[in-house]
Amino acid sequence: MPTNVMQTWLASSHFSGANSTYIEDLYELYLADPLAVDANWREVFDELPPVSEQPEEAHSVIREQMKHAAKAPKCFTPPQGAVHNDAKQVKVLQLIGSYRNRGHEVAALDPLGLIKHETIKDLDPFYHDLEGADLDASFNVGSYAASNETMILRDLVASLKRTYCGSIGAEYMHITNTEEKRWLQNRIESCESKPSFSEEAKNRFLEELTAAEGLERYIGSKFPGAKRFSLEGGDSFVPMLKELIRRAGEQGAQEVVLGMAHRGRLNVLVNVLGKKPNRLFDEFAGKHGEVNGSSDVKYHQGFSSDFKTPKGNIHLSLAFNPSHLEIVNPVVLGSVRARQERLQSIGESVLPITVHGDSAIAGQGIVQETFNMSQARAFKVSGTVRIVINNQIGFTTSNPEDTRSTRYCTDIAKMVQAPIFHVNADDPEAVILASQIALDFRNTFKRDVVIDLVCYRRHGHNEADEPNATQPLMYQKIKKHATPREIYVEQLESEGVISAGHGKQLVSDYRDALDNGECVVKEWQAMKRHSVDWSPYLKHDWDSAYEPQFPRERLVELGESISQYPDSYEQHSRVKKIYADRLLMARSEKLCDWGFAENLAYATLLDSKYNIRLVGQDSGRGTFFHRHAVLHEQKEGTQYVPLQNISEEQGHFDVHDSVLSEAAVLAFEYGYSTAAPKGLCIWEAQFGDFANGAQVVIDQFLSSGEQKWGRMCGLTVMLPHGYEGQGPEHSSARLERYLQLCAEHNMQVCVPSTPAQVFHMLRRQVIRSMRRPLIVMSPKSLLRHPLAVSSMDELASGTFQNAIAEIDEQDSKDVNRVVLCSGKVYYELLDKRRKEELTNVAIIRIEQLYPFPTNEVSDIFEDYAHVKDFIWCQEEPQNQGAWYCSQHHFRSVLPEAAKLHYAGRAASASTAVGYMSLHVKQQKALVNEALGFEEQQ
């Protein structure tokens, strides 16, 4: 072939860059079945080098091979007979690609018809030079509809419009995995996004729509103006949710955990989970039985029930949720992870469903955090079905330019390449089909999937709100718009599925059921089992007896076990020294340091078959290089975890370095601990004050979940705390914030000062039957402080001391000043007192600040009944730390006529100074002030 002819052919052939889509379709078809492509193309592809069997590599491989072909044209012979109409054929495949990529932009998604679609030129055949006679010509459609056949162009365009521009707008072309993309194409295109349901199924959908609408109207008429955050306009959410549950049950799920905000929550409680209507109506009327704690408003409440599916009952749990909307999502995921682990199935066994608002999913950063966590080892739950109840208005702002910077509120999901199904909520059958495909995708690929239920809000943000003030045009349209039930009744009547008047009869029957007050969910089943048995942990107080001691012989064996690793493991020199020292500690040849005592506490619990989960941003080694629960071989980079190799019968030990998040991770661990009460669950902040980023979790869940919702939790939160001159962001864990939240014995706040104390504190948290959050001000410098050591005997035979009396030998009668303190400052006070040989000052440590150990401290103070001068010494500024929140506890145990004084830093807007020299000066001053003498010049 002459050179100029070859160049002309290359420029116009399928190997040009513009034709890559067509080539990829043909080549992937060839890889699946060589006989499925034309013989001429088969000869070309046969000449190409062999490729990997991994289907997702096909795109990159074909591109590389086309580059190779262009550089060496003599290796290829143009397929005879294929040049005719090649350009048009490629244009047809480009048209198909345009619909797959952009068809959703003009889909009929808005029930109100308010969305004005821009003209998408790519979707017009004319744009691709396809016109006139081309519309009646037949073309190869590649993989479209998995047909592997030709179609008349006119029919193809009509099919593409039905598939991609109807009631479902599918976004999936951002996915790079070929297998996932092909799977979605086959599911969507094979039915042209048009479902085919039996008359029985259609009648069921109508009944469920009737229930969704009926409950809202019933409440609206019986309790006018009461807040309920109506679902009206998004009624299809109820049949969608029930279909997801039914299908999940058919595919092997045993539990579904649901997290949602306010809108539609009351409807879900009654029409999905089976809460009795009379109970809900009593709540509206202000009637309620005796409850423990403060309780919460109706639309924050959770619920549990069993739901009958064709393959057995499935347990449903609706998570309790505060007004901090999206924060419930990581809580749900943590609960799901714990349930999956208990069922020994990270997959179909437990399905998480999270429900979002359109403004919230785009606006709240916690959503991004949970997407980022979705495939991380510590947090994966094999995918979440995420549903957006998109009423196109958010709170009161319907202009997208005010609520987000993206086309869709769901664009955040593209960061994890989740498929997104936009669906018109006025088409319940399309909604059901989208939910079926979404669930099947999640179960097939174990990844997140999003359903954007595009609807409207018939009333204001709540029923006392006046929406016409801010959305006049929208609400004029809504006022005239038929409800989803009315639209579906008309459709089914026209199809002959139901007779005229049947829809009205369903409305009447449902209203009668509500009047009766009993459960209105046909699938509801009395719970035969709870997802987790909390009964052993209920009705226990702080003084519940437990056995703190551990057999010393076995303790030594465990200490030696966790201090060794395979001989083949070459360790970092510093880690090797730490482990060599730990072996000496186990054999009582050296006193125990913090890291060894902590790891040994875990070992004893694992040996007793308790499970342990430890998560934090640097928890494997410990932020301050003290834990080293995970060893890293220096040549191969492999890992060894001694705590996972104690015995074959031990409990599970999981330690994970988390994603760089506080809010979502702490919420996840809270959710996990509520569903796994037996073991020890720990979240560790890299620095204690980083928990600021998770304040919503601390305020709304940890500190108040039991009082509001009766949800107990045994989560342990480790917050490194201590003034080491590292500046404002690395000193204070904001102790005062936790103490301020303490009431009604809702949680524990501890500041352990010795290895033995951390050993017994961790064991107590699990062995004691009571389950409440434990907040630990964990140390930094004390991890290697020469005085912060303990003996193996103290570990084996001791117990956690809520308060520790004076340890030096002194005559209490000579004491005229008692200093109370917590944490690291104790050792500075002790060192200074010993150096100055003071005999008139006693130092008492308060190791548990809440619940305050009144009895223990009172017993210690018996020896100091004559003392009038008591000091509370702290490192934190006066307006921070324990002083303001705990001084009433300190005063309550003072001897009669004694006075309490403060020694510490002056009040400050910042937690600490930034200069080491100033820090040292302040630290010396507060120690001297506490001990009662001026600094020696």
Q: Tell me: the pLDDT tens digits for 723-736?
A: 999 999 899 999 99
- CATH 3.40.50.2300 applies to domain 552-797: no
What gap in Å lies between CA 859 and CA 804, rounded to an integer? Answer: 11
Residue found by looking up tokens 């196109």 in the block? 392
Sheet with 612-616: strands ordered across: 653-657, 612-616, 680-684, 716-720, 774-778, 748-750, 848-850
> CB-hemisphere CA count at 13 Å for 75?
14
pLDDT of amino acid 638: 92
What gap in Å lies between CA 31 and CA 45, rounded to an integer? Answer: 9
pLDDT of amino acid 677: 93
3-state helix, strand, coil in the chain (%, to 5): 45, 15, 40
pLDDT of amino acid 29: 60
pLDDT of amino acid 35: 61
Cα–chain center distance at 74? 56
Q: Is the pLDDT of residue 79 over 90?
A: no
> Under 8 Å CB-to-CB from 732, ≥6 apart: which residues?
688, 689, 721, 723, 876, 880, 881, 911, 912
> CB-hemisphere CA count at 13 Å for 690?
22
What average pLDDT does the segment 164-185 reach?
A: 96
Vertex 429: Cα angle to 426 and 431 (nearest 5): 65
Span 579-619, pLDDT tens digits? 999 999 999 999 999 999 999 999 999 999 999 999 999 99
> Under 8 Å CB-to-CB from 641, ≥6 apart: which residues?
629, 630, 631, 653, 655
Span 469-493, pLDDT tens digits? 888 888 899 999 999 999 999 999 9
pLDDT of amino acid 539: 81
pLDDT of amino acid 226: 78
pLDDT of amino acid 7: 42
Q: Is the pLDDT of residue 460 over 50?
A: yes
Q: Is the pLDDT of residue 428 over 70?
A: yes
Q: Is the pLDDT of residue 892 over 70?
A: yes
pLDDT of amino acid 74: 39
Q: How confident is the model at residue 87 (pLDDT cuts 50, 70, 90)?
A: confident
CA distances from 810 to 334, 618, 870 (A): 51, 43, 17
In order, the DSSP letters of 321-367 are --SSGGGHHHHHHHHHHHHHHHTT-SSTTEEEEEEEEHHHHHH-HHH
Are the folds of 199-525 and 552-797 the same? yes
Q: How confident is the model at residue 230 (pLDDT cuts 50, 70, 90)?
A: confident
CB 107 within 8 A of CB 166: yes
Q: How confident is the model at residue 58 (pLDDT cuts 50, 70, 90)?
A: very low
Q: How confident is the model at residue 293 (pLDDT cuts 50, 70, 90)?
A: low
Q: How confident is the model at residue 85 (pLDDT cuts 50, 70, 90)?
A: low
pLDDT of amino acid 294: 54
What is the percentage of the chain residues whose pLDDT exceeds 90?
Answer: 74
Q: Is the pLDDT of residue 138 over 60?
A: yes
Range among 21-30, 157-166, 222-231, 620-629 with highest mean pLDDT value: 157-166
Q: Quick one: which of 735, 730, 732 has its CA closest to 698?
A: 735
Spell out the domain ranges in the chain: 1-84, 85-196, 199-525, 552-797, 803-931
Q: Is the pLDDT of residue 684 over 90?
A: yes
Amino acid of residue 256: V
Provide φ and ψ at 531, rounded to 5°. Answer: -65, -30
Average pLDDT, the chain: 89
> Under 8 Å CB-to-CB from 306, ≥6 apart: which residues?
313, 314, 315, 316, 524, 525, 526, 527, 528
Span 754-799, pLDDT tens digits? 999 999 999 999 999 999 999 999 999 999 999 999 999 999 999 9
What is the percentage of the chain residues whose pLDDT exceeds 70?
Answer: 89
Range among 29-33, 128-132, 402-406, 738-742 with highest mean pLDDT value: 738-742
Q: How confident is the model at residue 147 (pLDDT cuts 50, 70, 90)?
A: low
pTM: 0.90
In order, the DSSP letters of 587-642 are TTSS-B-HHHHHHHHHHHHHHTT--EEEEETTTTT-TTS----SEE-TTT--EE-G
The residue that leads in pLDDT, 293 or 210, is 210
Amino acid of residue 398: S
What average pLDDT does the segment 620-641 reach?
A: 92
DSSP secondary-structure letter at 482? P
What is the CATH topology of the domain spanning 803-931? Rossmann fold (3.40.50)
State in words which class domain 199-525 has: alpha beta
What gap in Å lies between CA 914 and CA 935, rounded to an integer? Answer: 23
Helices 594-607 and 755-767 pack at an angle, to 10 degrees, of 20
Q: How confident is the model at residue 72 (pLDDT cuts 50, 70, 90)?
A: very low
CB 877 within 8 A of CB 911: yes
Q: How confident is the model at residue 696 (pLDDT cuts 50, 70, 90)?
A: very high
Q: Is the pLDDT of residue 71 over 50?
A: no
pLDDT of amino acid 247: 97
What gap in Å lies between CA 610 and CA 603, rounded to an integer? Answer: 10
Q: How confident is the model at residue 631 (pLDDT cuts 50, 70, 90)?
A: very high
What gap in Å lies between CA 218 and CA 514, rounded to an integer? Answer: 8
> Does residue 394 sit in helix, strand or coil?
coil
Pick the CATH number of 85-196 from 3.30.429.10, 3.30.1490.20, 3.30.70.260, 1.10.287.1150: 1.10.287.1150
- Specify which residues 257 forms β-bridges with: 317, 352
What average pLDDT does the segment 374-380 reach?
A: 96
Helices 552-561 and 594-607 pack at an angle, to 10 degrees, of 110
What average pLDDT does the segment 681-701 reach?
A: 93
Q: Is the pLDDT of residue 543 over 80?
A: no
